[in-house]
A and B are shown apart, each in its own frame.
Chain A
Amino acid sequence: MKHPFLSGLCSVMLLLVLSGCWDHYELNNMAIVSGIAIDAGKHDKYKVTLEVINPGEMTSKKLSGNMPSVVYSYEGKSVVEAIRRINTGIPRKMLYSHIQLVVVSEEIAREGLLSFLDYFESNREFRENVNFVMTHGSPAEDTLKISHPMVRVSSFKIVSQMELGEKEWGSDPMIKLRDFILAWQSDTKEPLLGAIRVKGDVQKGNQITNMRKIEPSALVELAGSGVFHHNQLLGFLSLGDTRNVLWVQGKLKQSVLTFGCGEPGKMGSYNVINSSTKKKVNYTDGKLKIDISISIQSYISFMECKVRLSDNQEISRLQKQIEAYMEDQIKGTVSKVQHKYKADIFGFGDLLDIQQHQQYNKLKSNWSPVFEDADVKVKVTANIRQSGITTDSFLLKAPMVRPENEQEATEPD
């Protein structure tokens, strides 16, 4: 090679070819992991279950009626080892960057065996905004094994349940991996984690026939949330409590309130369409004072009592009812968390850090008793905007026979 320019060009081209390609993978040789479940193993410390998508079954053109996803489990001394050795059973390179869901079992959470999260955080393939959830009762792997005709990949189904649950009612806190790790490493804030459970028979649910039934034999449903102290599960909150926690945190935008409207056995239902939460914390005289003020916009979706909705005074009476009911509910949840778990899942400590940094520095090492003793005030301002597309309900005039077996309904917990 006499020409210096040509030889230089050739060596540069060689450089490109020789250095590149180490992370080159064709899509044919890869498999998308949609969800990961972590249980305590029988033989080893962990049992890792991966849900892998079978892409041919996900496109309408190539559909042949097989399962759209395959689940495979492997045990290992650590999660990393189990994940790395998963190819003992699956013939493809796993693609982790599209994981939608990480599920841990209640057992793992109770024992606090969550250090493996370090791997998820430091690995370049995993996303930090992956949805993180725990099971209530059932083994984590079972949640990935239950098929459903609408969203055929279990992980995708659980995630869209969680998203809609948070948005429409407030039944799931939608915790991402990053949120959990941030709360865990915080001095005062404690992690909250959404919970799911399997309802029905897993053995029947993990077959394709589960998708052919009108009422599937098994179903994964949302089950409130779990309260942690650092990495250890303390206990569970019901769906209603979870909603109230979200309300205090200011994450909730929409929900439904249903409670007795004054007349015996009769209910009123209100759709909350917008809500904003303001919190103030103040540490004076050795006591933490917390002011929570929530203002909501709502409309009446259903009213059994004979209330003339065209009357402004009646409306303001109903607004008072909502306020009282909500204050009561939210106070109940906060004091339950305060006294039963002593865990500041709301993030009041972070607020104090911003508002009274000096005090916070003194208190942060021993936050739990301060939080427990805190004086919580809840103030709700409710505003009723409308009553659907009618003003006065037809129930106002309609004659009605009271059913005998009607029970005092309460909000689902």
Chain B
Amino acid sequence: MSGIELEDEKMSQPLQPYAKSCRFVLEEKFGHTTDFCLEEISQSGCLGIICYLKTMVDLDAIQEIAAMLQVDGKGRQFGPLEEEAARAYGSRIFTTMSLQYPATLREVMDHILNGYMVICWDGLHEAIAVPVQGGEQRAVSEPTTQTVVKGPKDSFTESIVTNMSLVRRRIKSEHLRFESMTLGVDTRTSIELLYIEGITNIRIVNEVRERLGRIQTSSILDSGSIEEFITDSNLTPFPLLLSTERPDSIAGGLLEGRTAILVDGTPFALLAPVSIHDFFQTPEDYYLHFYIATFIRWIRYVAFLIALLLPALFVSVMTYHHELIPTNLLINLMAQREGVPFPTVVEAFLMELTFEVLREAGIRMPRAIGQTVSIVGALVIGQAAVEAGIVSNAMVIIVSLTGICNYVSPSYSFASSARLLRFLLIILASVLGLYGTLLGVVIIVAHLTGLRSIGVPYLSSTAPWIMEDQDDVFIRLPMFLNRKRPRLLMPQQVTKQSWPSKLLGRKGGGSN
């Protein structure tokens, strides 16, 4: 450990004004990695080095800069104590570029690793870092997991700069803040904490910042790992942060008074804090007519309940509470179960597991075979199993309905929680019937009540009940009536718009 500390100490000392010594240290640090380029330049007997990672830069830009250095024919002689010499030199040659002047070896390395080209000259106490970031990256495309019918079609990419600009273009406000930090000892992943000054509650921002600062890890490859580090509780199947690849979703969240976390290298950004109701809402709700939006929200709640409860209810009614089924339906179900060799609960487990396996296979399979898997799967479950008399038709209907309802949820990780809890409820239902199912629901609700997301109660707006927020929970009131930001986030500025003049005019008996 002490060796590493010593190393760190050496790294953070001021840069020596000798290009040779820089070269020596950098070559030692980067070793023989093939993408590290270091070239010596000399002008009028003065020695300099330029270094960059060719995997991180735009090679065309390097060419241009090299040309600029050639053009600058004046002799380079820097006095050893010229403090501002680097800056003067930099701004003279590279006008209009946002240059950085790293003063320690550590900073020099960070800049190289982040795709800068660093120039060291003899006699300069600071290096000059020129932004020439480039390299291959994906273009902005349509979101793959959170598609909408009506609304913006762009989504985040793996490049954090692109992602930041996607958010910034939506919120052209001087109050939007980006706070950078680098996480992961090995990956040195750039992370941006986003919030809007004057709207987001400063205590939430501080809390998120503090939690991010506490992360000590070797690698951050996706926002999912950050989520597990900063979430309030990991002992829950429910996601406590909302992960989305939609810039409009992030922008909407920021404007409501939430914070967002962008991670370099993944198109999934995080929104925090969130309540359970945010997982039933999509940005599309605000682009559609509010009647439709409200109706669809209700559909989502119902679908979630079906995905969670239907197999358990079916098992309990089929094995314990036959009197609850209408007579004609019961006769029908009996006729179907005639000759099925398994108890209902085994049948349910069998089918649910088959479904989960098919689903996983469908995701992991190469695209070309995926089609075949789904057709074979559907045939195996739907037709062959029923015809062979191994499962009943009703069970196939129940399982497929449950599966489809699970896909209704706008958030993939939230839907997964229902997938998991469903099995627990089926076990309870098979042992205790409806009583057991209800018991399970009570336990789940009790658990939900105890959850918090960045300190905000997970069930908030319903428990604790916040009347003022109800304009955008189960029903979405039209935009002009939705005047306040959600109170559960305690935003610094609650009111987001005044009463529309049209309404006021009407109230005052105006001519409108």
- B247: CB under 8 A from chain A? no
B319 within 8 A of A: yes
- CB-CB contacts below 8 Å: A3-39 with B: 16-17, 20-21, 23-28, 30, 32, 34
* CA–CA, A127 and B322, complex, Å: 13
Residue pair A20, B436 in contact (C-beta under 8 Å): yes
Are A32 and B334 closer than 8 Å at their CB atoms? yes
Q: Chain A interface: which of B177-185, B196-204, B336-344?
A: B336-344
**Residue from A17, A23, A55 with most neighbouring chain B CB atoms (10 Å):** A55
Determine whether A338 belongs to the interface, using a CB cutoff of 8 Å to chain B.
Answer: no
In the docked arrangement, what's the CA distance between A34 and B330, Å? 12
Asked if B436 contacts A56 (CB within 8 A), the reply is: no
In the complex, what distance in Å separates the CA atom of A23 from the CA atom of B322?
11
CB pair B318–A27 under 8 Å, yes or no, is: yes
Whole-angstrom CA separation of A32 from B334 in the bound complex: 9
Instruction: Give the Cβ gap from A315 to chain B, nearest Cβ, in Å.
Output: 45
- Judging by beta carbons under 8 Å apart, are A24 and B319 in contact? yes
Q: Is the CB of A98 within 8 A of B327?
A: yes
Residue of B330, B344, B428, B432 with most chain A CB atoms under a 10 A cut-off: B330
> Do the beta carbons of A16 and B428 come within 8 Å of each other?
yes
Measured CA separation A127–B334 after assembly (Å): 21
Q: Which residues of the partner chain A approach B332 to less than 8 Å between Cβ atoms?
A: 55, 58-59
* Chain A, Cβ-Cβ closest to B332: A59
Which of B318, B327, B331, B428 has the most A CB atoms < 10 Å from its CB? B331
Q: Is A293 interfacial (CB 8 A cutoff)?
A: no
If A16-B431, A20-B436 touch, does A28 touch B323 (CB 8 Å cutoff)?
no
A95 at the interface (CB under 8 A from B): yes
What are the residues of chain A within 8 A of B319 when measuring CB–CB? 24-26
Q: Knowing A16-B432, A26-B344, A95-B322, say if A56 contacts B330 (CB, 8 Å).
A: no
Interface string of A86-101 (1 = CB under 8 A from B): 0000000001011010
Residue B71, interface by CB 8 Å: no
* Interface residue? B335 (CB, 8 A): yes
Q: How far is the CA of A144 from the CA of B431 in the complex (A)?
A: 37
Contact with B along A39-60 (1 / 0, CB 8 A): 0000000000000010110110
Given A24-B320, A27-B318, the answer on whether A59 and B337 have CB atoms closer than 8 Å is no
Q: Does A402 contact B (CB under 8 A)?
A: no
B333 beta carbon closer than 8 Å to chain A = yes
Q: In the complex the two chains form, what is the Cα distance from A154 to B431 in whole Å?
A: 36
**Contact among B323, B327, B335, B428 with A100 in the assembled complex (CB-CB below 8 Å):** B327
Inter-chain CA distance A242–B403, complex, in Å, is: 55
Would you call A32 and B431 a contact (CB within 8 A)? no
User: Which A residues are in CB contact (< 8 Å) with B340?
Assistant: 28
- 310-331 of chain B: CB within 8 A of chain A: 318-320, 322-323, 327-328, 330-331
Question: A393 to chain B: closest CB distance in Å?
Answer: 43
* Residues of B in contact, count (CB < 8 Å): 25
* CB-CB nearest in chain A for B339: A28
A205 CB, min distance to chain B CBs, angstroms: 23
Residue A62, interface by CB 8 Å: yes
Question: Within the complex, what minimum Cβ distance (angstroms) separates B433 from chain A?
Answer: 8
- Give the chain B neighbours of A27 by CB distance below 8 A: 318, 322, 330, 333-334, 337, 344
Assembly CA distance A125 to B321 (angstroms): 10
**Nearest residue in B to A61 (C-beta to C-beta)?**
B335
Would you call A55 and B338 a contact (CB within 8 A)?
A: yes
C-alpha spacing A25/B343, complex, angstroms: 9
Question: What 1/0 mask marks residues of chain B from 23 to 55 whose CB sits below 8 Å from any chain A CB?
Answer: 000000000000000000000000000000000
A58 nearest in chain B by CB position: B331
Residue of A nearest to B316 (CB): A24
Partner of B323, one of A21, A24, A58, A98: A98
User: A56 touches which one: B320, B333, B338 (CB < 8 A)?
Assistant: B338
CB pair A125–B331 under 8 Å, yes or no, is no
Interface centre among A28, A32, A53, A58 (most CB of B within 10 A): A28
Contacts of A98 in B (CB 8 A): 322-323, 327, 330
**Which chain B residues border A17 with CB–CB below 8 Å?**
431
* Bound CA–CA A26/B430 (angstroms): 11
A55 touches B432 (CB 8 A): no
Once bound together, how far apart are the Cα atoms of A389 and B328, in whole Å?
38
B432–A30 contact, CB under 8 A? no
| Min distance, Cβ B266 to any Cβ of chain A, angstroms | 35
Name the residue among A21, A24, A25 with the largest chain B CB count within 10 angstroms. Answer: A24
> What string of 1s and 0s marks CB contacts (under 8 Å) between A167-201 and chain B?
00000000000000000000000000000000000
Q: Which residues of A contact B318 (CB under 8 A)?
A: 26-27
Flag if B432 contacts A20 (CB, 8 Å).
yes
Shortest distance from the beta carbon of A385 to any chain B beta carbon, whole Å: 37
Pair A30/B320 contact, Cβ less than 8 Å: no
* Nearest neighbor of A124 in chain B, beta-carbon distance: B323
- Considering the complex, give the chain B residue whose CB is closest to the CB of A68: B331
The CA-CA distance from A20 to B432 in the complex, in Å, is: 5
Q: Which residue of A lies closest to B428 (CB)?
A: A16
Min CB distance, B314 to chain A, in Å? 12
**Is the CB–CB distance between B331 and A55 below 8 Å?**
yes
Contact B335 A56 (CB under 8 A): yes
CA gap between A308 and B319 in the complex, in Å: 66
Q: How far is the CB of B189 from chain A (nearest CB, A)?
A: 36
- Please indicate the chain A residues that have their CB under 8 angstroms from the CB of B330 in the complex: 27, 32, 98
Contact at B335–A55, with CB atoms within 8 Å?
A: yes
- In the assembly, what is the distance between CA of A30 and CA of B344, in Å? 13
State whether B331 touches A32 (Cβ < 8 A).
yes
Contact of A26 among B323, B337, B431, B436 (CB under 8 A): B337
- Given the complex, which residues of A lie within 8 Å of B322, measured CB to CB? 25, 27, 30, 95, 97-98
Knowing A21-B431, A28-B340, the reply to whether A59 touches B335 (Cβ < 8 A) is yes
Within 8 A of B (CB), among A58-97: 58-59, 61-62, 95, 97
How long is the Cα–Cα vector from A207 to B337 in the complex, in angstroms? 27
Q: Say how far A169's CB is from chain B's closest CB, in angstroms.
A: 26
CA distance A53 to B322 in the complex (A): 15
Please state if B323 and A125 are interface contacts (CB–CB under 8 Å): yes
Contacts of B338 in A (CB 8 A): 28, 55-56, 62
Nearest CB on A from B173, distance (A): 49
Q: Which residues of the partner chain B approach A95 to less than 8 Å between Cβ atoms?
A: 322-323
Question: Measured between alpha carbons, how far is A295 from B322 in the docked complex, in Å?
Answer: 44
**A127: chain B residues within 8 A (beta carbon):** 323
Shortest Cβ distance from B327 into A: residue: A98
**Nearest CB to that of B341 among chain A residues?**
A28
Contact digits for B257-282, partner A, Cβ 8 Å, 1 yes 0 no: 00000000000000000000000000
Bound: A26/B319 CA distance, A: 5
Jot down 10 A-B pairs with beta carbons below 8 A, ordered by A: A16-B428, A20-B431, A25-B322, A26-B318, A26-B319, A26-B337, A30-B334, A32-B330, A56-B338, A100-B327
4 nearest CB pairs, A to B: A97-B323, A55-B334, A20-B431, A55-B335
16 extra interchain contacts, Cβ-Cβ under 8 A, other than A20-B432, A27-B322? A16-B431, A16-B432, A26-B344, A27-B318, A27-B344, A28-B334, A32-B327, A32-B334, A53-B331, A56-B338, A58-B328, A58-B331, A62-B338, A95-B323, A97-B323, A98-B322
B residues within 8 Å of A by Cβ?
Answer: 318-320, 322-323, 327-328, 330-340, 343-344, 428, 431-433, 436
